[in-house]
């Protein structure tokens, strides 16, 4: 009798405890539910749908027709797609790599106490807050034959460059904007990373005999590894998705020199009305981004874990 | 031509046109077509942004309310760069408006996708489509006629003619009328006289082809191919001849003219400001449509320009281009609302001279030339002459893909020095792939 | 090995002066402890010796060489940090080898030196672990190992034990001392813990608000505090202070406490009749008097520590602490009678805190 009462008591207690926990959980779910729902409806569902469309022939009007992997097989032999993929890869490689030393260098600079720091910091952060469209228009002007950039080059006796009007230089011109736009953003991230490194390590390194370079090389860089990983992965993803700037500045030209994959996907979907093919290209892009991120994370965290 | 005189004439004409609209309005009001709803109806219309055009259509919407009080027209204005995608997706997904505005070359695609409502003959009081076609200039409705039915009505059918900067000609001791190039050989000869280079900068081009969009490139390339006696697409639209001997000649000519007269790397033209170089005086000659007249007159060029017919390979067998924008009706809407939509289109297009006066758009209908507005419009006869010898811009379900492939071929040759034949062979392969679908 | 000389050293951070004309000498092989409450400038002084802070004024020399403008790496010093500052991305071996590697010493020599140091500190099994895989005490030893591996002239310790638990701290104190006895390296050790100072130091420097209050051997400071600050800082439980007025009649001196109680003073202290003084005595310098003998004190709290008994009570209107080696059968609220041992009484000038008389040795 008493043992049952004891058990009952226990159950009641547990139920009460569970009650409190589940109440808290319920509250948490209630808070995240709208966000989850919005994400599900406007992000995940379309993504899943894109996977399905990639296996179909779909012109937006007639119902999608299932054609298996035909879109993918076809893409592999499509010189336009391969060219666009090459342009995208070049864009990613050459817009991501310089951003690393530039943003890290600026971060190191701004991590010191400079009297002009605050002003410079806002000035340098400008590109991040500038809308892509405005930026593309401004840069288009600057890149013109008699624009600011050629004028400055002229001071040094350099012949004007037909930045956007030459298939040789257009991609570089677009890449330059990518670098200009990304650098301050990642500078802030690096700055946060730098400030998270305890000053003690630098003191210890000084005592151990490390000069500025040695402590940057042996202390700062290794301890910034997680930050660097974040910057590389984020930057690559952003670079792979670049769209507005080439769309506005060159619309992919001249002669396809700046037709990055997202732009080609957009044209295929909404100018050529080939949703299936566009979806297949998106899947390709998605897989490329995933693979890259995965390899990056593995590479950076191989061997030892951090801190 | 003096600005003050022309300005006065134009504004007088506009006033006259407005008066006639009000006068004609009462007649339109009484003429209610069969199937027109009596209850309140709201229809939506989309069009591409262009200042004078937008202002005029809004004016028309207000005027329509006075003759059809139970109809409300909701306007949605979109930039010209986005409208094609917006309309296509809207029509495809059934979320589009009642009336769409699109570059005439897109209607073939829309027709093939089955999203267009054919013109309501009753609304226009026409016995048949054949009879309706006679109201337009020959070929005037070609871009909107499919399977014997009319699906789209153009509110502008633009010729592309040669605009000449008088000052630039005078500075070179040339007369803009007498010395205007008749042939491309003339153009090459003028190139040497008008193109000015300082050090490594081109400060004035004699003439340049457009490079700011594949559409404009195609607008110039297509008539060049035709001038050599070729064509880009078979009549059934299933075979492309992008790398034909004539096309190769056309691209070679393009390249050779450019070498002497132009500088594709020095340009400020963009999709939204395609005439910038001419307006800035950076080029002595430029190809554009009558609609650019207002913009040029408002610029530093003022009235100091002359329009000449587009140069030819053989002036005896002239070939030019006409392209334009047209209204169409969304098939997915209820019947009664589609009647209203066609009724509103009829109302809008009723006064071609007003379109000319207010937006400088030329409707390809008969009798426009006889109106007072046309008579006072600068070089209207030249524009009409070029329209008379014109083919419509490439009509194909795949006009975007073909246009882009050709545009790329042109850019490869002009920017990267690729051989014209090789460049067009590549374009042909790209187009063949598309047409196979 | 080397001595350290500090002459008229000043340090200011902007307008804030944190060290005032500090003069100090550390003898060759000496273990000197800088002690003081937080903010007294002891860590700043240590970092100046290390070369991590610039010298605002004065001169610091190590081994007879002025080092004011020398970077740390040229001062031949090693330092152990409060948080150990072990490089998290390096193994124990790499941490210890880092300074040698920077000096480009040959690899076999580095390996030997690291292993020698590891041997001394019992770190051999941990050489290939990362700092996060070590316990607090092990990390502490690695930090020590990193310091000793390159045989510096001077060791600097910046509160190295404050992150350890009490038991480990006692153990590490002993280890550091025995290490010092083995290496005989000149060492400067900063702590805020006076017990650490007392137990480890050859000499203690008491710093307070950027000034040296007193320098001396641990027992010297304990027995002969130069002022009220040192008297209060050194010793635990700390010295008891009762304010009063010095009375002198003929050869007899006593202190009249605030409540009128006469407190005994041995010998003839400096000071004049009527001078305001602080009558001070350590908790163990009290005798339990019989009823009626000594000063009545009302017990507030009793803390038996096992070894002895701490009694907190009210004595002449002031709260004091008394420590007795024997166990007492008294309870809070009761009154006991306490008599300060005259030999353990110190008198300080209430106006400037300077000592008038240190009872012992008089």
Q: Quick one: pLDDT band at residue A306, thresholds 50, 70, 90?
A: very low
pLDDT tens for each residue of C250-305: 778 889 888 888 888 877 778 888 899 999 999 999 988 776 678 889 999 999 88
* Domain spans of chain A, in order of start: 2-53, 77-301
Judge if C30 and C83 occupy the same domain.
yes
Selected residue with higher pLDDT from B64 and A27: B64
Contact between chains at A165 and B115 (C-beta distance less than 8 A)? no
pLDDT, position C272: 83
Shortest CA gap B413–chain A (Å): 9
Contact between chains at C99 and A214 (C-beta distance less than 8 A)? no
Contact between chains at B109 and A78 (C-beta distance less than 8 A)? no
Q: CA torsion, points B223, B225, B228, B234, in degrees to nearest 10? A: -110
Selected residue with higher pLDDT from B87 and A114: B87
pLDDT, position B213: 87
pLDDT, position B92: 82
Domain boundary among C194, C214, C232: C232
pLDDT, position C87: 94
* Domain spans of chain B, in order of start: 3-159+322-377, 161-321+393-435
Which tokens in the block code for residue A50?
Answer: 């894109």
Q: What is the mean pLDDT of residues B272-279?
A: 89
Q: What is the mean pLDDT of residues B48-67?
A: 93
Whether C40 shows a pLDDT value over 70: the answer reads: yes
Q: What is the architecture of the domain spanning B161-321+393-435?
A: 3-Layer(aba) Sandwich (3.40)
Looking at the domain that runs over A77-301, which CATH code has it been given?
A: 1.10.3720.10
Assess contact for B206 and B261: CB atoms under 8 A.
yes
Assess contact for B345 and B132: CB atoms under 8 A.
no
Q: What DSSP designation does B361 have?
A: P
Strands C240-249 and C252-257: antiparallel
Judge if C218 and C296 occupy the same domain.
no
Q: Does A112 touch chain C (CB under 8 A)?
A: no
Q: How large is the ipTM? A: 0.84
pLDDT, position C325: 87
Whether B294 shows a pLDDT value over 90: the answer reads: no
pLDDT, position C26: 94
Judge if C184 and C322 occupy the same domain.
no
Q: What is the mean pLDDT of residues B55-79?
A: 94
Judge if C213 and C252 occupy the same domain.
no
- Nearest chain A residue to B106, by CA: A271
Measured between beta carbons, the chain A residues lying within 8 angstroms of C158 are none
Buried residues in C145-155 as b, exposed as e (16+ CB within 10 A): bbbbbbebbbb
pLDDT, position C118: 92
Judge if C204 and C282 occupy the same domain.
no
pLDDT tens for each residue of C230-249: 999 998 899 999 999 998 88
Whether B7 shows a pLDDT value over 50: the answer reads: no
pLDDT tens for each residue of C324-335: 988 888 889 999
Whether B16 shows a pLDDT value over 80: the answer reads: no
Contact between chains at A61 and B91 (C-beta distance less than 8 A)? yes
pLDDT tens for each residue of C151-165: 898 999 999 998 888
Maximum mean pLDDT: which of A9-13, A159-163, B130-134, C355-359: B130-134
Whether C361 shows a pLDDT value over 60: the answer reads: no
Q: Determine the Cα–Cα distance for residues B342 and B340; give it in Å rounded to an integer.
A: 6
pLDDT, position C362: 39
pLDDT tens for each residue of B347-378: 999 989 999 988 889 888 888 888 888 888 99
pLDDT tens for each residue of A263-287: 999 999 888 888 999 999 999 999 9
Judge if C197 and C346 occupy the same domain.
no
Q: Determine the Cα–Cα distance for residues C280 and C5; give it in Å rounded to an integer.
A: 34
pLDDT, position A114: 62
**Residue C186: Cβ within 10 Å count:** 25
Q: Determine the Cα–Cα distance for residues A274 and A56; give it in Å rounded to an integer.
A: 10
What residues 174-233 of chain A have any CB closer than 8 A to a CB of chain B? none
Q: What is the CATH number of the domain that holds C174?
A: 3.40.50.300
Q: How many independent structural domains does chain C possess?
A: 2
Identity of the residue in C78, C86, C103 whose CB atom sits nearest the CB atom of A207: C78
pLDDT, position A113: 66
Q: What is the CATH number of the domain that holds C310?
A: 2.40.50.140
> Dihedral sign, CA of A7, A10, A14, A16?
positive
Q: Quick one: pLDDT band at residue A150, thresholds 50, 70, 90?
A: confident
pLDDT, position B9: 46
Share of chain C above pLDDT 70, in %: 98
Rg (CA), chain B: 22
**Given the structure tokens 């989309």, which residue do they identify?**
B46
Domain hosting C329: range is: 238-358
Measured between beta carbons, the chain B residues lying within 8 angstroms of A253 are 211, 214, 407-408, 411
Judge if C264 and C185 occupy the same domain.
no
Contact between chains at A60 and B88 (C-beta distance less than 8 A)? yes
pLDDT tens for each residue of A180-204: 989 989 998 999 999 999 999 999 9
Whether C142 shows a pLDDT value over 50: the answer reads: yes
Judge if C202 and C54 occupy the same domain.
yes
Judge if C199 and C274 occupy the same domain.
no
CATH superfamily of B3-159+322-377: Periplasmic binding protein-like II (3.40.190.10)
Judge if C213 and C295 occupy the same domain.
no
Whether B298 shows a pLDDT value over 70: the answer reads: yes
pLDDT, position A11: 52
Whether A129 shows a pLDDT value over 90: the answer reads: no
Identity of the residue in A203, A208, A307 whose CB atom sits nearest the CB atom of C99: A208
- Nearest chain C residue to A213, by CA: C102
Selected residue with higher pLDDT from B32 and C31: C31
pLDDT, position A17: 56
């Amino acid at each position: 009798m008493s043992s049952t009462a004891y058990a009952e008591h226990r159950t009641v207690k547990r139920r009460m405890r569970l009650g409190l926990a589940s109440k808290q959980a319920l509250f948490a779910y209630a808070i995240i539910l709208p966000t989850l729902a919005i994400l599900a409806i406007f992000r995940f569902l379309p993504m899943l749908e894109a996977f399905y469309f990639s296996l179909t022939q779909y012109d937006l009007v007639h119902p999608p027709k299932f054609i298996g992997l035909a879109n993918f097989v076809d893409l592999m032999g499509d010189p336009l797609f391969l060219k666009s993929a090459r342009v995208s890869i070049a864009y990613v490689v050459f817009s991501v790599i310089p951003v690393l030393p530039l943003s890290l260098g600026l971060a190191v600079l701004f991590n010191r106490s400079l009297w002009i720091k605050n002003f410079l910091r806002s000035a340098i952060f400008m590109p991040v807050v500038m809308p892509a469209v405005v930026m593309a228009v401004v840069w288009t002007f600057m890149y013109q034959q008699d624009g600011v950039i050629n004028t400055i080059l002229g001071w040094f006796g350099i012949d004007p460059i037909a930045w956007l009007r030459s298939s040789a230089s257009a991609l570089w011109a677009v890449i330059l904007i990518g670098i200009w736009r990304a650098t301050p953003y990642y500078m802030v991230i690096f700055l946060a990373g730098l400030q998270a490194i305890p000053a003690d390590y630098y003191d210890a390194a000084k005592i151990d005999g490390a000069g500025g370079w040695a402590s940057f090389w042996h202390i700062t860089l290794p301890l910034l590894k997680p930050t660097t990983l974040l910057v590389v992965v984020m930057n690559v993803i952003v670079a792979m998705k670049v769209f507005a700037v080439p769309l506005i500045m060159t619309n992919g030209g001249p002669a396809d020199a700046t037709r990055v994959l997202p732009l080609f996907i957009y044209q295929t979907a909404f100018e050529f009305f080939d949703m299936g093919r566009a979806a297949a290209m998106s899947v390709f892009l998605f897989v490329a981004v995933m693979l890259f991120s995965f390899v990056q994370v593995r590479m950076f965290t191989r061997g030892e874990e951090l801190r | 031509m003096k600005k003050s005189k022309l300005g006065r004439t134009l504004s007088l004409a506009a006033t006259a046109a407005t008066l006639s609209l009000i006068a004609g309005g009462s007649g339109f009001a009484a003429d209610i077509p069969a199937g027109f709803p009596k209850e309140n109806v709201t229809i939506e219309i989309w069009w591409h942004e262009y200042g004078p055009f937008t202002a005029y259509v809004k004016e028309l919407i207000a005027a329509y309310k006075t003759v059809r009080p139970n109809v409300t027209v909701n306007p949605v204005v979109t930039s010209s760069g986005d409208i094609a995608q917006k309309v296509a997706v809207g029509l495809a997904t059934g979320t589009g408006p009642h009336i769409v505005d699109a570059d005439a070359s897109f209607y073939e695609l829309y027709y093939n996708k089955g999203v267009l409502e054919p013109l309501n003959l009753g609304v226009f009081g026409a016995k048949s489509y054949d009879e309706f076609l006679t109201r337009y200039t020959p070929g005037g409705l070609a871009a909107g006629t499919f399977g014997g039915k009319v699906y789209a009505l153009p509110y502008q059918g633009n010729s592309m003619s040669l605009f000449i900067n008088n000052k630039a000609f005078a500075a070179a001791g040339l007369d803009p009328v007498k010395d205007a190039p008749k042939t491309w050989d003339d153009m090459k000869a003028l190139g040497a006289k008008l193109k000015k280079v300082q050090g490594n900068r081109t400060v004035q081009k004699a003439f340049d082809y457009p490079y700011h969009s594949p559409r404009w490139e195609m607008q110039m390339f297509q008539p060049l191919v035709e001038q050599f006696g070729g064509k880009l697409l078979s009549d059934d639209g299933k075979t492309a001849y992008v790398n034909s001997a004539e096309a190769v000649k056309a691209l070679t000519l393009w390249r050779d003219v450019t070498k002497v007269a132009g500088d594709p790397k020095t340009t400020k033209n963009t999709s939204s400001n395609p005439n910038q170089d001419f307006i800035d005086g950076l080029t002595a000659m430029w190809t554009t449509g009558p609609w650019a007249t207002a913009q040029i007159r408002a610029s530093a060029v003022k009235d100091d320009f002359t329009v000449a017919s587009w140069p030819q390979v053989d002036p005896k067998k002239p070939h030019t281009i006409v392209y334009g924008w047209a209204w169409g009706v969304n098939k997915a809407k209820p019947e009664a609302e589609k009647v209203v939509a066609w009724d509103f289109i009829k109302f809008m297009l009723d006064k071609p001279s007003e379109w000319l006066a207010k937006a400088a758009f030329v409707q390809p209908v008969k009798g426009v030339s006889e109106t007072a507005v046309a008579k006072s419009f600068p070089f209207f006869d030249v524009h009409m002459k070029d329209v008379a010898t014109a083919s419509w811009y490439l009509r194909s379900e795949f006009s975007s893909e073909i246009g882009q492939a050709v545009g790329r071929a042109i850019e490869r040759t002009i920017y990267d020095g690729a051989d014209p034949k090789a460049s067009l062979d590549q374009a042909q392969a790209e187009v063949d792939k598309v047409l196979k679908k | 090995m080397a001595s350290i000389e500090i002459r008229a050293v000043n340090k200011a951070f902007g307008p804030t002066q944190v060290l005032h004309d500090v003069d100090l000498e550390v003898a060759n092989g000496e273990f000197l402890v800088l002690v003081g409450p937080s903010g007294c400038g002891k860590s700043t002084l240590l970092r100046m010796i290390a070369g991590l802070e610039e010298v605002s004024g004065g001169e610091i020399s190590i081994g007879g060489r002025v080092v004011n403008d020398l970077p740390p790496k040229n001062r031949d010093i090693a330092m152990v940090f409060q948080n150990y500052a072990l490089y998290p991305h390096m193994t124990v071996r790499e941490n210890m080898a880092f300074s040698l590697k920077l000096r480009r010493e040959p690899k076999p020599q580095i390996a030997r030196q690291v292993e020698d140091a590891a041997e001394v500190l019992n770190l051999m099994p941990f050489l290939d672990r990362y700092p996060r895989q070590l316990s607090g005490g092990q990390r502490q030893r690695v930090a020590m190992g990193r310091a000793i591996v390159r045989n510096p002239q001077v060791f600097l310790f910046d509160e190295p034990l404050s992150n350890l638990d009490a038991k480990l701290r006692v153990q590490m104190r002993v280890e550091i001392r025995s290490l010092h006895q083995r290496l005989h390296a000149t060492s400067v050790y900063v702590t805020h813990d006076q017990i650490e100072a007392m137990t480890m130091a050859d000499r203690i420097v008491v710093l307070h608000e950027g000034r040296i209050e007193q320098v001396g051997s641990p027992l010297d400071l304990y027995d002969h505090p130069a002022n009220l600050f040192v008297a209060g800082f050194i010793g635990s439980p700390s010295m008891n202070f009762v304010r009063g007025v010095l009375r002198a009649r003929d050869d007899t001196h006593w202190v009249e406490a605030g409540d009128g109680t006469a407190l005994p003073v041995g010998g003839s202290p400096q000071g004049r009749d009527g001078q305001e003084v602080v009558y001070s005595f350590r908790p163990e310098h009290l005798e339990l008097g019989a009823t009626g003998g000594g000063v009545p004190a009302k017990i507030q709290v009793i803390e038996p520590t096992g070894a002895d008994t701490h009694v907190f009570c009210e004595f002449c209107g002031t709260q004091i602490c008394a420590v007795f080696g024997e166990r007492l059968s008294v309870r809070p609220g009761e009154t006991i009678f306490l008599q300060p041992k005259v030999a353990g009484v110190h008198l300080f000038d209430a106006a400037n805190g300077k000592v008038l008389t240190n009872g012992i040795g008089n």
